Amino acid sequence: MAIELKMPALSPTMEEGTLAKWLVKEGDSVSAGDVLAEIETDKATMEFESIDEGTVGKILVPEGSENVKVGTVIAVLNGEGEEAAPSAEAAAPAAAEPEAKTETSAASAPERPKSAERAADPEVPAGTNMHKLSVREALRDAMAEEMSRDDRVFVIGEEVAEYQGAYKVTQGLLEEFGPKRVIDTPITEYGFAGIGTGAAMGGLRPIVEFMTFNFAMQAIDHIINSAAKTNYMSGGQMRCPVVFRGPNGAASRVGAQHSQNYGPWYASVPGLIVIAPYDASDAKGLLKAAIRSDDPVVFLENELVYGNSFDVAQLDDHVLPIGKARIMREGADVTIVSYSIGVKFALEAAEKLAEEGIDAEVIDLRTLRPLDTQTVLESLAKTNRLVVAEEGWPACSIASEVIAVCMEQGFDLLDAPVMRVCNEDVPLPYAANLEKLALIDAARIVSAARKVCYKD
């Protein structure tokens, strides 16, 4: 059987090349791996090897030929025992048409399927007992409950076991669940994030604690390249149900390297769920949901609210829906959208605005990816004015994203441009006065709300 040797594509981008030199002549017998020719691409000269054994039949493209299109038949190789006679149809070089190539220019992306029915927070039955719980305790309880429920769940990170957690979030877990399921690591974020991700691929449900998300930058390759993308790259075969959690955002006087909000970073990545709760009830209900999720979750806490206490319903199983924002305060005049510690400032701002006769609605996004744009737009339809408050830098932020959504999907609803209130666009300074200047506060949110209400 004669084998047509075609001008090979020798790089991902090669479309044509120069047939620089033939190293065999007609009638030569060759075996697999022998170099037949040298081909020049725009980047390099490459050797073209024989894949089969046989005798070189007709050489159809002479050496020195330039601009030979990929796929052109350049020679014919005759198999064992065949005469070195080229077939008539192979006599003339012809550019092959690779059947597989599809016209990408003409193809347009299909309609993206709409997301499922939106889940609402479950009703808390009347008469349910409420108790005060700090965010720290709520997170701890969420982990303990899920560890009791599912023996695949374990906690791994720096100082999570014997030290009881750098911020005491894992307090008591070692005692309750033992060293098999509460595991202290060396200071080695890249490594243990990889081990956590691999364990999730291997069927477990790891909770990977970062002492702070600032240190997760050492591990971000596993969060994004390993955890977020593998389900897609495997055509849905490889699950990665891991939770990466820890404090995020500015703490207090710890300087630039320990003070950063990574919400926008992770929220830009398809394949991740990103949750950033504010109060204890959401912290508990959403962490439980995160642990049960079959997807990789980045769960962003805030050190400054760990000690704050809130009412939490005493339920056997307090689980909240991922991807659903929460209206923290209803109002009619202006919407303030925020998340994490920003909600605290937004609620303070709403109080002050109420004193001035401005009725503000406060929305806690709670989940940053997928973003609950519907709740934001419904509120905008009511108030027609919107401010985004974010403890984080302004550029390429969650605020930017919310503003884009309002422009694209709520333009006709807007009575004023949407404003964002973010941290100053500087690394966070150490000096107390400068730090205070750099971070958002209620006063700045009040000022922005007045502006969009034209009451400034």
CA distance 411 to 431: 41
Selected catalytic residue, list 158, 258, 303, 318 = 258
Beta strands in 248-296 (DSSP E): 273-275
Active site residue 189: yes
Shortest approach of other proteins to residue 236 CB, angstroms?
4
Burial of 237 (0-12, 13-18, 19+ CB in 10 A): exposed
Shortest approach of other proteins to residue 106 CB, angstroms?
12
How many C-beta atoms surround the C-beta of residue 240 within 10 A?
A: 25
Shortest approach of other proteins to residue 13 CB, angstroms?
8
Selected catalytic residue, list 189, 301, 361, 390 = 189
CA distance 220 to 266: 9
Phi/psi of residue 49, nearest 5 degrees: -95, 155
Binding mask of the shown chain, residues 12 to 41, with x at each position contacting other proteins by CB under 8 A: x-x-----------------xx-x------
- Residues in 377-406 that interact with other proteins by CB under 8 A: none
114 in contact with other proteins (CB under 8 A):
no
Print burial letters for 349-386: b (CB count within 10 Å at least 16), e (below 16): bbeebeeeebebbbbbbbbbbebbbebbbbbbeebbbb
- Is 290:275 a contact under the CB 8 Å cutoff? yes
Tokens of 396: 């390429």
Burial of 189 (0-12, 13-18, 19+ CB in 10 A): buried
Active site residue 176: no
Single out the segment in contact with other proteins by CB under 8 A; choices: 253-261, 291-299, 356-364, 436-444. 291-299
Choose which of 24, 59, 193, 305 interacts with other proteins (CB under 8 A): 193
Is the CB of 33 or the CB of 127 nearer to other proteins? 33
How many C-beta atoms surround the C-beta of residue 220 within 10 A?
A: 18
Single out the segment in contact with other proteins by CB under 8 A; choices: 11-19, 142-150, 341-349, 418-426. 11-19
Cα Rg, the chain, nearest whole Å: 31
- Residues in 115-134 that interact with other proteins by CB under 8 A: 115-116, 119
Shortest approach of other proteins to residue 61 CB, angstroms?
14
Choose which of 113, 125, 127, 357 interacts with other proteins (CB under 8 A): 113
Q: Where are the alpha helices (DSSP H) in 123-269?
A: 135-149, 173-177, 189-201, 220-221, 230-233, 263-267
- Count the site residues for other proteins by CB under 8 A: 85
Shortest approach of other proteins to residue 364 CB, angstroms?
16
Is the CB of 12 or the CB of 62 nearer to other proteins? 12
Is the CB of 86 or the CB of 206 nearer to other proteins? 206
Is the CB of 113 or the CB of 127 nearer to other proteins? 113
Tokens of 190: 């890249």
- Residues in 351-380 that interact with other proteins by CB under 8 A: 367, 370
- Is 288:145 a contact under the CB 8 Å cutoff? yes
CA distance 268 to 188: 25
- Is 153:217 a contact under the CB 8 Å cutoff? no
- Residues in 40-99 that interact with other proteins by CB under 8 A: 43-49, 51, 70-71, 96, 98-99
Shortest approach of other proteins to residue 183 CB, angstroms?
8
Shortest approach of other proteins to residue 289 CB, angstroms?
9
Nearest residue to 240 via CA among 270, 204, 265, 276: 204
- Residues in 294-323 that interact with other proteins by CB under 8 A: 294-295, 321-323
- Residues in 211-270 that interact with other proteins by CB under 8 A: 221-222, 225-226, 230-239, 270
Choose which of 93, 122, 271, 429 interacts with other proteins (CB under 8 A): 271
- Is 353:380 a contact under the CB 8 Å cutoff? no
Shortest approach of other proteins to residue 118 CB, angstroms?
9
- Residues in 170-189 that interact with other proteins by CB under 8 A: 180, 183-186, 188
Supply the residues annotated as catalytic.
Answer: 189, 258
